[in-house]
């Protein structure tokens, strides 16, 4: 038996770092959505665990125990007591270190597919957070979610207006640890995202909401005085803002991928074509915002 599924890109439409726990983990609040585009995983029965990686972003992806997909497989084995194996094929279409949850989404889909393949119970998000803060939210249905705590406290977001996304990455990675260190020099501002996502927002109100909440990491990446200043982010955000039909734009997660929100597929795809033509070195991808 062979099972396959898409591991969709995870996009943080807002992100506030709200504090730091005694154990060193940062707490956050974020409105997370998923794009109708991502990596693909295929699993089939095998006598051991074997990972193969292909696709446009396969270069540099480890195929040993460092890979989050194999870490997820080993975690599922330990938690369920199974000794079954699998041959796993990962097709990487999302850029590395981009803040759109490529590895986390891959791990979440691996957990789901392998549980079906091995006929074992699925593990809980609270258990899966050991793999990374973004894994629990990626284990949910690909619908808008409010993410809190260190990533393990989840709730469904109110229905958002139908939108399309344009994802843009300068092909530069941003190390998560360095990002948190840079942000740590600023006092975190508490917020309450879950209570302030209004019901029944139209596109104009949604754009205002996005502008109000923003992303704490965008502040350090676009600040020339910051140790992690990345001028490409400012360039991408301005290029997105200049596109016809772009409602709002910002950074996703702590990575280098930026997003623009558009009301229609036509506007998003037209903007993506223009951006790709003018900036050959950027990765540009239009995708529907899943709801």
- Residues 6 or more apart whose CB falls under 8 angstroms from that of 199 comprise 158, 159
Is 92 part of the annotated catalytic residue set? no
- Residues 6 or more apart whose CB falls under 8 angstroms from that of 139 comprise 108, 111, 112, 125, 128
Set 5, 10, 47, 64: catalytic member: 10
d(CA 243, CA 262): 10
Is 134 part of the annotated catalytic residue set? yes
Tokens representing 120? 């074992």
Return the number of other C-beta atoms located less than 10 Å from residue 9's C-beta: 31
Tell me how many degrees the CA angle 92-95-99 measures, rounded to the nearest 5.
120
Set 47, 134, 216, 219: catalytic member: 134
With beta carbons less than 8 A apart as the criterion, state whether 30 and 14 touch. Answer: yes
Give, as one character, the DSSP assignment of residue 160.
Answer: P
- The residues that are catalytic are 10, 134
């Amino acid at each position: 038996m062979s099972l396959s599924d898409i591991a969709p890109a995870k996009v943080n439409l807002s992100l506030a770092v709200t504090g730091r726990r005694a154990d060193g983990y940062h707490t956050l609040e974020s409105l997370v959505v998923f794009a109708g585009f991502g990596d693909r995983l295929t699993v089939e029965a095998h006598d051991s665990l074997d990972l193969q990686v292909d696709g446009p972003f396969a270069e540099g992806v480890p195929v040993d125990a460092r890979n989050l997909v194999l870490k997820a497989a080993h975690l599922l084995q330990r938690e369920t007591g199974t000794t079954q194996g699998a041959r796993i094929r990962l097709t990487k279409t999302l850029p590395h270190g981009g803040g759109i949850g490529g590895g986390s989404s891959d791990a979440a889909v691996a957990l789901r597919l392998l549980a079906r393949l091995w006929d074992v119970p699925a593990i809980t998000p609270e258990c899966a957070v050991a793999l990374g803060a973004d894994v629990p939210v990626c284990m949910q249905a690909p619908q808008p979610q409010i993410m809190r705590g260190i990533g393990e406290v989840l709730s469904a977001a109110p229905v958002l207006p139908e939108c399309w996304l344009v994802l843009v990455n300068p092909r530069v990675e941003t190390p998560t640890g360095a990002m948190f260190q840079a942000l740590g020099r600023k006092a975190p501002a508490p917020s309450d995202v879950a209570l302030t996502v209004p019901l029944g927002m139209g596109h104009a109100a949604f754009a205002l909401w996005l502008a109000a909440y923003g992303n704490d990491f965008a502040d350090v990446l676009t600040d020339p005085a910051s140790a992690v200043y990345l001028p490409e982010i400012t360039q991408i955000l301005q290029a997105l803002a200049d596109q016809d039909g772009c409602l709002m734009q910002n950074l996703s997660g702590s990575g280098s991928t930026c997003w623009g929100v558009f009301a229609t597929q036509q506007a998003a795809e037209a903007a993506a074509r223009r951006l790709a033509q003018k900036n050959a070195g950027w990765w540009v991808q239009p995708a529907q915002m899943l709801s």
